[in-house]
Structure 1
Amino acid sequence: MRIGSLTVAIGALLGASSAQTQSPTALHDMPFEQISLQRTECLGSCPSCTVTLHGAGTVVYSGRAYVASTGEHRAQ
């Protein structure tokens, strides 16, 4: 999964979340503590990574195997 595709997926998730509740004024006003998406390895070369959106506005990406960027990356 490319980072660009991931950004689109996160944007869609946040848009769906705000459509179902009162519209938040900022990302840190989201009505959840955290949401995570995890992809695990398979018997081949499947990407292994986790993306976590924290209600306070922090996004944490952790790439483990078969991804373009390994390690932990944070954004606010």
Structure 2
Amino acid sequence: MGEPEPVDLIHLADADGDRCIVRVTGRYQPGILTGHDTLRADVLVSTSFLDARLELYLFQRDLTAWEHELEGLVPGG
């Protein structure tokens, strides 16, 4: 059985095709219990003059903090 497909946590794009994506690409140590897991992720930025990729690692507490912050967003805020 292979790796699961990557999952986009955040995908922001504008009408010009510029975009920023936070994509989870897999588990850092698949043998570790999932409750103690570290996720591998990429931040992908693409504009008319730039294509960039930043590899990073996410902990569950990071995702929980993001969830709380995103829940507080309102249109125009």
TM-score when normalising by structure 1: 0.38
Give the structure with higher Rg (CA): 2
Structure with the higher fraction of residues in helix conformation? 1
